[in-house]
Amino acid sequence: MANAKKITKNADGSHNVPDSPVIPFIEGDGIGPDIWRATRMVIDAAVEKAYAGRRRIEWQELPVGEKGYEKTGSYLPEGALAAIEENVVAIKGPLTTPIGKGIRSLNVAIRQKLDLYACVRPVRYIETVPSPMKHPEKIDMVVFRENTEDLYAGIEWESGTPEADQVADFMKTAMGVDLPPESGIGIKPISPANTKRLVASAIAHALENGFSSVTLMHKGNIMKYTEGAFAKWGYQVAEERFGDRTVSEARLWEDFDGKVPAGKIVIKDRIADMLFQQVLLRPDEYGVIATPNLNGDYLSDALAAQVGGLGMAPGANIGDRCAVFEATHGTAPKYAGMDKVNPGSLILSGAMMLDYMGWKEAGTAVRAAVQAAIKARRVTYDLARQIEGAQEVKCSEFAAAIVAQMQ
């Protein structure tokens, strides 16, 4: 497209989005091509509906994963990473990590190499979608999961290796810590700088989107200097950067008799295992949740199960330089090429991408049409087998049904 231009970023973090932005996409492996075709159909239709031809997206494919290996000999070509950073916004399907060779995890590698430190997972109920909850309509949360450290930093040594023995010997001789023989050893780094930028982005999101609280999820009663520090640093950044718009839960009761002052949101913390119970029993008491990596991995999937499963769960990985929006599920290779699976996760991630670009009218159009299509009970097999009176349709037909609701 002759007038296609790149999205750029300003010094304050805001975006300059042209009417015809270039947006890279990674089709993905397994079911990736099926759900990407469906997603592109829906996003293009939403942009057309919202802006009547004044705006459109110029898509640029990046060969990553199996396709990247076939074309370049690399599962994650450096050129693809450069293109994502250069264009600021990208979207991707699920990627298979090769067994026994190459990168430990393609998804983790993309996040770490581009410093996409916030894994953002909104969880909100869509009417008619089957749920194990009595009142799934009460669920409206966004999980901000730290993406670059904690156990996902991947610092570990295998049992019986010289490296593991060396670390164990150092811990015994220098630190007085005696590990069981032949232990596999992993390191769990959590730092103040990375914690504060993650929590700051969570608080900013809560303020911008009308949430009443940010909860710091941690296991600090046991891991005091990592997860406990996460909570401590989270409270610190709330005071340092948002002191005029936030109040801690302790101060809320000490100074305001439990009544939230106008214009402020509450910063609170919960022990990880207790929060799993709370989001089941009292989900309406929680809005934005900020958490170290592993906790967020578990919690976001558990919350997704409450509103229909990973097939309907959108997600994004966002940093200061760029953002990648992605399906939150795997490649499901047994369904590859069958035009069968639910594309909802990637479609709703596309709606998040449109919001991020400032094209909120198009993002709203996507979500409204998804809701309408599901209410009309024209859905893929995973939903059809649970919704009474539903008509099972293919992946592409579900996308077409969503587009039809826009029209």
- Is there a catalytic annotation at residue 339? no
206 labelled binding-site residue: no
297 labelled binding-site residue: yes
Tokens of 87: 């264009």
96 labelled binding-site residue: yes
List CB contacts of 143: < 8 A, sequence separation 6 or more. 119, 120, 121, 122, 123, 289, 291, 296, 299, 300, 303
329 labelled binding-site residue: yes
Residue with tokens 């940010």, as numbered in its chain: 214
Whether the CB-CB separation of 292 and 283 falls below 8 Å is answered with no
121 labelled binding-site residue: yes
334 labelled binding-site residue: yes
Whether the CB-CB separation of 122 and 141 falls below 8 Å is answered with yes
Tokens of 4: 């296609």
282 labelled binding-site residue: no
Whether the CB-CB separation of 186 and 221 falls below 8 Å is answered with no
- Is there a catalytic annotation at residue 255? no
Spatial CA neighbour of 287 closest among 376, 232, 356, 209 = 209
Cβ atoms within 10 A of the Cβ of 41, count? Answer: 17
Phi/psi at 92 (5° precision): -140, 150
> Cα–Cα distance between 343 and 399 in angstroms, integer?
8
- Is there a catalytic annotation at residue 224? no
The single residue of 125, 152, 235, 356 carrying the catalytic annotation is 152
- Name the H helices within 261-376: 272-281, 293-306, 344-356, 360-375
295 labelled binding-site residue: no
Instruction: Report helix, strand or coil for 317.
Output: strand
Whether the CB-CB separation of 326 and 349 falls below 8 Å is answered with yes
Q: State the DSSP code for 263.
A: T
105 labelled binding-site residue: yes
Tell me how many degrees the CA angle 63-65-71 measures, rounded to the nearest 5: 45
286 labelled binding-site residue: no
- Is there a catalytic annotation at residue 273? yes
The single residue of 219, 264, 268, 340 carrying the catalytic annotation is 219
Distances (CA, A) of 309 to 327, 383, 398: 12, 10, 17
The single residue of 169, 273, 284, 320 carrying the catalytic annotation is 273
332 labelled binding-site residue: yes
The single residue of 297, 339, 355, 382 carrying the catalytic annotation is 297
349 labelled binding-site residue: no
Phi/psi at 269 (5° precision): -135, 150
H or E stretch covering 258: none
193 labelled binding-site residue: no
Binding-site positions for NADP(+) read 96, 329-335, 342, 381, 385
Active site residues: 152, 219, 273, 297
Binding-site positions read 96, 105, 107, 111, 121, 145, 297, 329-335, 342, 381, 385
Binding-site positions for Mg(2+) read 297
Binding-site positions for D-threo-isocitrate read 105, 107, 111, 121, 145
